[in-house]
Structure 1
Amino acid sequence: MEKLAASSLPMPTTIIADAGFDSEENYVYAVGDEKEPRFEFLIPYGTSVQEQTRKYKKDIQNAKNWTYCEEEDCFLQLKI
């Protein structure tokens, strides 16, 4: 991106990348130093494709599938 910015070519307004570019460094670069995005970006995180599968969504060992109970300040493991 820095090489592109240094050239005379126009900068894209939206960057689309695959999960291989999922890194804190890339996100920080896209957001910019002043926390105002340099450009819009669509970069899925590493497990986003896996999380869309039926097997992942039904896995009761996965904490993302648990429900938070605010009254008791705990997570409930529900069978799906």
Structure 2
Amino acid sequence: MNIGKVCYQVRPVERHIITRYVEDTEGRPCGSEVKGEFDNAKLAREIARALAKDEAGRLGFPPGDERMQYPERESVAA
């Protein structure tokens, strides 16, 4: 093989990680876990919202219940 050049580079990469964080009724942390890693922020937020909505339903939390915190929606540039 006739190699002309080999170049190693370091490039910044932005990733978006979905985590699930739990507190007890006194506000003390009970743990956290990673639910997924994505290269697209919008997709990560949509999936995180769907996971939260599903869990809220399974736990019997009514819509708007403050015990379930959803990720913020993507801001729209003016």
Q: Which TM-score band (shorter chain)?
A: under 0.3
In terms of fraction of residues, the more strand-rich structure is 2
TM-score (norm 1): 0.28
Q: Report the structure, 1 or 2, having the larger helix content.
A: 1
